[in-house]
Amino acid sequence: MKWKKLVTLGCVVVMTVSSVTACGSNTTENQMVEATEQSEENQSDSVIVQVTAVEGDQITADVGTLTTASADASGNGAPGGENSGNGAPGDAPGGDAPGGEAPGGDNSGNGVPGDAPSGDNSGNGAPGDAPSGDAPSGDAPSGQMPGGSSFEISGESITFTLTDDTAITLEYLQGSGEGTADDIAVGSVLEVVLDEDNQAVSVTVRNLNAGGGFGGSSEVTNGTSANTITEDTEVDGETYTSTGDDENALRVDGATVTLKDITIEKTAGASSNTEDGDFYGQNAGLLVLNGATATITGATVNTSVTNGNGVFSYGEGTVVNISDSTIRTTENNSGGIQTTGGSTMNATNLDVETQGNSAAAIRSDRGGGTVNVDGGSYVTNGTGSPAIYCTADISVSDATLTANASEGVVVEGKNSVALTDCDVTGNMSNTYNGDSDENIHCIMIYQSMSGDADVGEATFSAEGGSITAKTGDMFYITNTDCEITLKDVAFTLANDVFLRVEGNSSSRGWGTEGANGGDVTLTADSQEFTGNILVDEISSMVLTMKNGTSYEGAINPDGDGGTVDVTLDDNSTWTLTGDSYITSFDGDTSNITANGYHLYVNGEQVL
């Protein structure tokens, strides 16, 4: 049954837990007003429950209450992520990516487990359509989530029915968005309004880490500029400098401009709000906005300030074409090229290196956009600083992507990364505060629930080139659906895990513990790969191996896990390195080399 998606219903009331994902909500102002009005009307009739069983449209749940923990001003840091607010487990100051920038993005608050994969300092760094919505307030420093709620059972149990008219809302770390019945799972905490027939009028899937603020402006805040170009022109050989607070060295505003052999020096000037810097380009070296088109060749861009993103493209209709240029940034929340608000960035043969935390070389944040990269070198050295932190549609070809202390790539929410003939290296140094419950990995795909990235299927593809993990698992997927396509990529693993699909502790706000696994479709085409595939009981995977693919590894060798469907075509092979437990198998077992181990399909030994 396809459930009706609605964003109304505001049981988004009073969420006391601030997240570190500094992201704005995708909810528009009108929706928020409608949600608030409906919330006030239904609040007295709502009940808080935790789901214990889902059988079709019938939901059984324990009734209880939410208790709010005291807030910890330290934020939560992105999982390892960029400085996102959400904090990644890594060392990310606020979490850019989970282990890299912040998987939730750069300093976004979203953070991924590594060094803050989550999102730039935005809070969530997810692309989404999110330019609408309130910007998080606060810099989302790393640390514990400021507060949190816990569900306490009262002893009563209820069963209710979902209908086509049930309004389902997802509560993000900041704000809320539309949801579906698929977002309701065992373990989910819900705020439900029932009619007299015990049918759900509305359901809000609560995020127990929601609430809090980040400090970003609710309105677009670009700061000021030391030099601004507002008329169509061509510039050759000029130098632009800035030492002012919240100030760009150069801004191109609404004009069509060609910039050749220019120099940008942003050597001083504080950022009053890292989210405004991550979302809107405040304090960046070069900011292009308001539908401008800037064509840049032979530029040298240096910044040594917080939020000193090198070249920043902001807003729908804005296009930056940059080639044969060098970008260096040294401080936190300072990506190389940054794309937000639905803008476009086209980069060719760039030499980019960042030193700070939450400073992805190729970075996107609130509102996302389109990024096309051809050639060049992209290097990061800080924690929570993946080479790519994606909350947009990003395509990269023939480039070298190196993260020396973070994940190589982080994708958040309904966004995509496509790599062609790229060489990627990830070296996630640690999880946030050394938290042993978090994962270390090279490629992370997740949903932070910050509201910056639309909820939906993420996409990652790689063809040709190489991906090297110097630490941790090769792939880690949590709290999202995703599609992964691999063709003729040379993989170098750091351990024996190629792919880990599992839920997380929810300490960063990434869904509800027990209901925040991943659902992955992995297609290996003419691909050689090794390593175990681990899919936990709240996750699933559909694996297709075709066109001469060769896999050497075990799937769920411990015998426990979620649904795993495997298709092996006649030209592909699988060599077991341990007993493997899957749900279904489509293929000829003669193409499987047992190697002394056994294959179990739906509990029965077939090999």
Residue labelled with tokens 């904090």: 87
Give the pLDDT confidence score for residue 434 in this predicted structure: 55
Give the pLDDT confidence score for residue 25 in this predicted structure: 36
Tokens (6 digits) for 516: 């925040």
pLDDT tens for residues 390-419? 999 999 999 999 999 999 999 999 999 999
Give the pLDDT confidence score for residue 43 in this predicted structure: 42
What is the pLDDT confidence band of residue 16, given thresholds at 50, 70 and 90? Answer: very low
Give the pLDDT confidence score for residue 432 in this predicted structure: 52
pLDDT tens for residues 462-487? 999 999 999 999 999 999 999 999 99
What would the mean pLDDT of 80-89 be, rounded to a whole number?
A: 39
Give the pLDDT confidence score for residue 518 in this predicted structure: 96
Residue that wins the pLDDT comparison between 591 and 78: 591
What would the mean pLDDT of 347-365 be, rounded to a whole number?
A: 97
Give yes or no for residue 52 having a pLDDT over 80: yes
Give yes or no for residue 125 having a pLDDT over 80: no
Give the pLDDT confidence score for residue 428 in this predicted structure: 94
Among residues 554, 534, 541, the alpha carbon closest in space to that of 595 is found at 554
What would the mean pLDDT of 195-211 be, rounded to a whole number?
A: 87
What would the mean pLDDT of 204-209 be, rounded to a whole number?
A: 84
Give the pLDDT confidence score for residue 411 in this predicted structure: 97
Give yes or no for residue 147 having a pLDDT over 50: no
Give yes or no for residue 280 having a pLDDT over 90: yes
Report CA dihedral (577, 581, 585, 591) to the nearest 10 degrees: 20
Tokens (6 digits) for 73: 């001003």
Give the pLDDT confidence score for residue 531 in this predicted structure: 98
- As a residue count, the chain comes to 607
Q: How far is CA 331 from CA 304, 309, 335, 360, 536, in A?
A: 6, 9, 9, 11, 38
Give yes or no for residue 59 having a pLDDT over 70: yes
What is the pLDDT confidence band of residue 511, given thresholds at 50, 70 and 90? Answer: confident
Helices vs strands, H then E, count in the chain: 2, 54
Least confident of 95-109, 210-224, 546-560, 562-576: 95-109
Between vectors from CA 293 to CA 292 and to CA 297, what angle results, nearest 5°? 140
Give yes or no for residue 301 having a pLDDT over 60: yes
Q: How far is CA 213 from CA 11, 96, 122, 540, 587, in A?
A: 17, 17, 12, 34, 52
Give the pLDDT confidence score for residue 227 in this predicted structure: 98
**How many Cβ atoms are within 10 Å of 559's Cβ, its own excluded?**
10
What is the pLDDT confidence band of residue 454, given thresholds at 50, 70 and 90? Answer: confident
Give the pLDDT confidence score for residue 119 in this predicted structure: 37
What would the mean pLDDT of 172-189 be, rounded to a whole number?
A: 82
What is the pLDDT confidence band of residue 69, given thresholds at 50, 70 and 90? Answer: low
Pairing mode of beta strands 604-605, 599-601: antiparallel
DSSP 433: G
What would the mean pLDDT of 111-117 be, rounded to a whole number?
A: 38
Is the Cβ–Cβ distance between 163 and 200 less than 8 Å?
A: yes
Residue that wins the pLDDT comparison between 343 and 102: 343
Tokens (6 digits) for 89: 């487990």
Is the Cβ–Cβ distance between 119 and 132 less than 8 Å?
A: no
Q: Tell me the average pLDDT of the chain.
A: 82
Give yes or no for residue 607 having a pLDDT over 60: yes
Give the pLDDT confidence score for residue 431 in this predicted structure: 65
Give the pLDDT confidence score for residue 34 in this predicted structure: 45
Name the amino acid, one letter, at 138.
G
> How far is residue 347's CA from residue 396's CA, in Å, rounded to a whole number?
9
Give yes or no for residue 421 having a pLDDT over 90: yes
Percent of the chain's residues with pLDDT above 90: 67
> How far is residue 345's CA from residue 354's CA, in Å, rounded to a whole number?
18
What is the pLDDT confidence band of residue 91, given thresholds at 50, 70 and 90? Answer: very low
Measured in degrees and rounded to the nearest 5, phi and psi for residue 274 equal -70, -30
Question: DSSP 3-state assignment of 1?
Answer: coil
Residue labelled with tokens 């799937």: 555
Among residues 51, 14, 21, the alpha carbon closest in space to that of 183 is found at 51
Name the amino acid, one letter, at 352.
V
Give the pLDDT confidence score for residue 566 in this predicted structure: 98
Give the pLDDT confidence score for residue 121 in this predicted structure: 34
What is the pLDDT confidence band of residue 359, given thresholds at 50, 70 and 90? Answer: very high
